[in-house]
Structure 1
Amino acid sequence: MTLPFLPFTRPEIDESAIAAVADVLRSGWITTGPRAQAFEAALSSLFGGRPVRCFSNGTATLEVALRIAGIGPGDEVITTPLTWVATANVIVAVGATPVFVDVDPVTRNLDLDAVEAAITPRTRALMPVHLAGLPVDMDRLAAIARRHSLRVIEDAAQAIDARWVSPGSVGRVRGVEEGQRIGAIGDLVSFSFQANKNLTCAEGGCLVFNTEEEAARAERLRLQGIVRSGWDGLEMDEPGGKSNLSDVHAAIGLAQLDRLPEITARRAQWAAQYLERLNASGLQDLGVELPTPLASVGGITNWHLFQVVLPAERLSGGRAAVMRHLKEAGIGTGVHYPAVHLLNFYRRQGWRPGQLPIAERIGRGTLTLPLFPAMSEADVERVCQQLDHACRLLLS
């Protein structure tokens, strides 16, 4: 019997979201309006009452955050090479220079020792990424920023409902360490609601602020910088873009938000099964690296992605051969991410292989396995069996 193809992700859209979109379409008001405002209010509540503004995508949120932080030509922003290219590209877009530093081999997030060593008089901001939904050490990150008077712009695109547990401030709910949600703490925090995110609007994003003044400026920047439009004419203090979130997309987000605890719990269930099965398989003895367990580094991941790191140099045909094997078995995979500093554009800025060896090794070997709420135990078992078979077949 041929099994159906298992993608590495699938959006979790239910009938309530479909009905909500239909209601918006029938309402006659489909651009930014009451649903977008309701979505912003609900997100603000999720993040402890902090001001929130929604955007059409999670790249615009990062660029607006940089502008609000005053980052521009001549400035440096320290960030990670293990990320989607947007993280670095927005730094370039505002005229600043991305400074990549290496990552921790266990968490795959920024190595904060390397961050501190890379700070220069031109450094104006830090842009960490909570890779795959596992938080960076928020306490130490904040301490570094305070010590050097830097802004922190968190790329939390993958981290909705992830949490940080500070030592000595652990709350417990039903025996689970809860901590604080990413977004409820920190400086400027950017989320994405793109199609493959744990909470999706199809496309969208939001930015969490410290003050209503920052939020009001972001609201202007997402709509051409306009400060007044109407009977008294048009006025603009600074140029902005066009990145407002429509009510159609907000309706999907509101329906998703109602189900966020369920979505997070189901992803954790399948991740736990992956860890149990792969730990028992012996693949780690062959050099396959698994993601770090849930709370061993102070962060509670939302399991946005389940990534293994393959010993690519020892695989006959490399990572691509494992991906082909899995595809032939009806299993989709992803690569999140190749090291950004080795892409052509950044090589032309002077970056070279060997400068960030840990990120480069992980970037060569990382493989994203299927993980989404609608999976089954049989799906996880199938992936584990085929991954085990492929690695043992191809390892030399």
Structure 2
Amino acid sequence: MNQEHPPFLPFVRPEIDEETIQGVVDVLRSGWITTGPQNEAFEKQLSAYCGGRPVRAFNSGTATLEIGLRIAGVRPGDEVITTPASWVATSNVILEVGAVPVFVDIDPRTRNIDLNLVEQAITPRTKAIMPVYLAGLPVDMDRLYEIARAYKLRVIEDAAQALGSTWHGERIGKLGDIVSFSFHPNKNVTSIEGGALVLNDERESELARKYRLQGITRTGLDGMDCDLLGGKYNLTDVAARVGLGQLAQMERFTAKRKTLAQSYLARFEQGAARELGIGLPVADFANSNWHMFQITLPLERLTIDRARFMQIMQEKYRIGTGVHYPAIHLFTLYRARGFAAGMFPHAERFGETTLTLPLFTQMSEGDVTRVCDAVDEICAEHGK
């Protein structure tokens, strides 16, 4: 292979095996391609994984968050505490139900919502807390639920990136209040597009079912009623079959990601990037599923900005990178609601400097070395 033109290395690539592909073919040939037996099987497997709790599958992790808020009783005018360091869907769904997002800054070490600041943000209008488990790293769930119980608040866990993560040996989704997972193609387990809600009881499960399909309840062969305003959020059987194939490999996927993350951390212990002050994620191999490997760039010690850094990675080294995530409160939609720069400095700095490096199960140790070498070379060439 010509080393001057190595194959392009994306920052993420889903791994879908031939058995799953054949399973999708079988579903297509069955004639039942929308929500049906595959969806039911997918929900049952997810429920078993989550200790038998009720699970409903949806067509996206955004839908699950919105419906989770509705099931939790969040109404127009209520406040929901969350983090500004997430994909914008986390707070957009709060607006969708007519509630008010209340941002709390992040802990710069974990990059998750700073639970020490949450109590200061609680008001009589606060209805729920929506923590995000960034890159698969859970918050301190003991502390989270201690706060929730003390103030009688609901919790909707945005665990979009955390399927396969744990807290003190217990799977995320097994304990807690309402839990939302995503199966977007960049997640550790994908159903192409999709999501799932882990719920507390059959009442909530039935509500989720109705919200998922226009609020409809059927009775017998010809009876039908609609008693709440739902939407169209159901997961197809084609997508569910992909999810089933992925679930069967989740433990292997997680183990491989941890191995690659360990290699990244070891490789970055020294080198030009480390000398300049590159920021590394918390080395938590007990709880995190290592959904992403995010560094923070020491931009004050570089002569180039992040965009140029990413461009060099792509054009010279043929390596893809990502940005996860700009601080939500600085988007135009949120500035128009009174948010401004300087309100949440840790989230802002993280959003300005974060860079997501490739991490997916088909990578090799050589790929990790290649990425780290590229980062080091750029830092060495453009360091002050």
TM-score, length-scaled by structure 1: 0.94
Q: Do structure 1's residue 269 and structure 2's residue 256 form an aligned pair?
A: no
Q: Does 1:339 align with 2:327?
A: yes
- AA aligned to 1:247 is D
CA–CA distance in structure 2, aligned partners of residues 393 and 285 of structure 1: 13
Structure 2 distance, partners of 1:284, 1:80, is 28
Match of 1:198 among 188, 203, 211: 188
2:135 aligned with 1:132, yes or no?
yes
> How many Å separate the matches in 1 of 2:383 and 2:143?
39
1:231 CA drift (Å) = 4.1
- Give per-residue Cα distances to partners, 1:15-44, cap 9 Å, x unaligned: 011011011011111111111000000000
Alignment of 1:236-315 (within 5 A): 236-281=226-271, 283-295=273-285, 300-315=287-302
- In structure 2, the residue matched to 1:24 is 27
- Tell me by how many angstroms 1:300 deviates: 1.1
Aligned CA RMSD, in angstroms, stands at 1.1
> Of the candidates 19, 23, 41, which is equivalent to residue 44 of structure 2?
41
- Specify the alignment match of 2:148 in structure 1: 145
How far the C-alpha of 1:113 sits from its partner, in A, is: 1.1
* 1:97 equivalent in alignment to 2:85: no
| Counterpart contact for 2:60–2:193, Cα < 8 Å | yes
- Written as runs of structure 1 = structure 2, the 5 A alignment for 1:1-396 is 1=2, 2-165=5-168, 179-228=169-218, 231-281=221-271, 283-295=273-285, 300-328=287-315, 329-396=317-384
User: 1:270 & 1:119 partners in 2: Cα distance?
Assistant: 39
Checking the alignment, whether the CA contact within 8 Å between 1:156 and 1:192 is kept in structure 2 is yes
For the residue of structure 2 that corresponds to 1:234, the secondary structure is strand
Give the unaligned 5+ runs of structure 2: none
Structure 1's unaligned 5+ residue stretches are: 166-178
Match of 1:67, SS?
helix
1:298-339 per-position Cα deviation (integer Å, ceiling 9, x unaligned):
x61101000001122332231112111111210000000000
Distance 2:365 2:275 in 1: 24
Check whether the contact 2:273–2:375 (CA below 8 A) recurs between aligned residues.
no
Report SS of the residue matched to 1:345. Answer: helix
- 1:131-170, Cα deviation, whole Å (9 max, x unpaired): 00001110000000000000000000000100111xxxxx
Spell out, residue by residue over 1:177-207, the C-alpha distance to the aligned partner (whole angstroms, 9 max, x if none): xx01110111000000011100000000000
Query: Which amino acid is 1:93 matched to?
Result: E
CA change 1:363–1:230 in 2 (3 A) is same
Q: For 2:349 and 2:301, locate their aligned partners in 1 and report how far apart those are by CA, in whole Å.
A: 12
Equivalents in 2 of 1:92, 1:313: separation in Å?
Answer: 35
> What number of residue pairs does the alignment pair up?
380
State the secondary structure of the residue aligned to 2:303. Answer: coil
TM-score by length of 2: 0.97
Paired residue secondary structure (1:228)? strand
1:284–1:290 Cα contact (<8 Å) kept? no
Whether contact under 8 Å (1:312, 1:364) holds in the other structure is no
Match of 1:171 in 2: none
SS at match of 1:280: coil
Q: Provide the rounded CA distance (Å) in 1 between the counterparts of 2:7 and 2:177.
A: 44
Q: Give the CA deviation at 1:212.
A: 1.1
Amino acid at match of 1:252: V
Instruction: Output the CA distance in 2 between the equivalents of 1:229 and 1:239.
Output: 18
CA positional deviation for 1:80:
0.4
Deviations 1:277-307 (A, max 9, x none): 0113253331210010115xxx611010000
Task: Give the Cα separation in 1 of the matches to 2:328 and 2:303.
Answer: 25
Alpha-carbon distance change, 243 to 229 in structure 1, aligned in 2, over 3 angstroms: farther
Q: Secondary structure at the match of 1:300?
A: coil
Q: CA deviation at 1:230?
A: 5.9
Which stretch shifts more, 53-62 or 314-323?
314-323
Quick check: 2:304–2:382 contact (8 Å CA) kept in 1? yes
Paired AA for residue 238 in structure 1: L
